[in-house]
Amino acid sequence: MSNLLNLNNIDAGYGEFDVLKNINMYLDKHEIVALIGPNGAGKSTILKSIFNISDIKSGKIFFEENDITNKQTYELLNLGISYVPQGRINFATLTVKDNLLIGAELIKDKKKVKDNLNYIYSLFSVLKTKRKHLAYSLSGGEQQMLALGRALMDNPKVLLLDEPSLGLSPKLVKETFETITKLAKTGLSILIVEQNAKQALRMADRTYLLENGQIALEGNKKLLNHPKIKTIYLGGQI
């Protein structure tokens, strides 16, 4: 129970529709954990059940040994959990700076907000140069950085990332993954859902493979050589 985030026997879904069956997993401090698996396996639903967007039928979720099952969104954010949904959602007609500041709405200390803003600018320098531009004018990669930056504005301990590489060019995918690795080194724990199994396995400290709402495999980087992963997800060879 000394892990940062624990999912114990989670059954979850949407209304009457069950997706996850008996999920047990954990996330440690400074760790990157990847969730891979085919479409509809329930990868995103795991993130959504942590962030209380999907309906948890049974089981409990613990964060720093506190029960966070069914907590309100603002309570989760205050505890230090941030969620970046799929598809680079930004506030299109707000400036880049305003987009970032909205991520820090829960912080009352103005100096802290300013420090965080400067930290994000140092992390993603393009956001600084384009801080007065409207969000919709950014490129796909920049919008992903903005969404990431906004999630980082309220000093999270855990970042839940839903397919940050979606729709990005190979070069940008590489850059995004490098940023995520960099973030983990600053002490952040990251739970990432990824379609790009090979990249995810290389980056993550540990990986869970999901199939039909259940964890089929679990392991560290050595999972790359697992015959099942090789044949089904990586096209037979690496």
Contacting residues toward another protein, per CB under 8 A: 51, 53, 72-78, 83, 85, 89-94, 98, 101-103, 105-106, 129-130, 132-133, 150
Nearer Cβ to another protein (132/171): 132
Nearest C-alpha neighbor of 204 from the set 192, 212, 216: 192
Q: Which of 49, 51, 53, 66 is nearest to 9 (CA)?
A: 49
- For another protein, the closer of residues 159 and 197 by Cβ is 159
CB of 198 to another protein, least distance (A): 29
Give a three-class secondary structure readout of 94-108: CEHHHHHHHCCCCCC
By C-beta, is 21 or 128 nearer to another protein?
128
Return the number of other C-beta atoms located less than 10 Å from residue 110's C-beta. Answer: 9
Using the minimum distance from each CB to another protein, give the nearer residue, 153 or 197.
153
Give yes or no for a contact between 8 and 62, defined as CB atoms under 8 angstroms apart: yes
Q: How far is the CB of 102 from another protein (least distance, A)?
A: 5
Please count the residues of the chain: 238
3-state secondary structure of 160: strand
Taking a C-beta distance cutoff of 8 angstroms, is the pair 69, 5 a contact? no
Q: How far is the CB of 212 from another protein (least distance, A)?
A: 27
**Of residues 113 and 229, the one with the C-beta less far from another protein:** 113
Q: Which is nearer to another protein, 4 or 113 (CB)?
A: 113
For residue 26, report the phi and psi dihedrals to the nearest 5 degrees. Answer: -145, 165
Alpha carbons 31 and 29: distance in angstroms, whole number: 5
Residue 183 CB, nearest distance to another protein (Å)? 19
The distance of closest approach from Cβ of residue 149 to another protein in the complex, given in angstroms and rounded to an integer, is 13
Give 75-95 as a DSSP string: HHHHHTEEEE-TT----TTSB
Instruction: Give min distance, CB of 47 to another protein, in A.
Output: 11
| Measured distance CA(172)–CA(144) in Å, rounded | 10
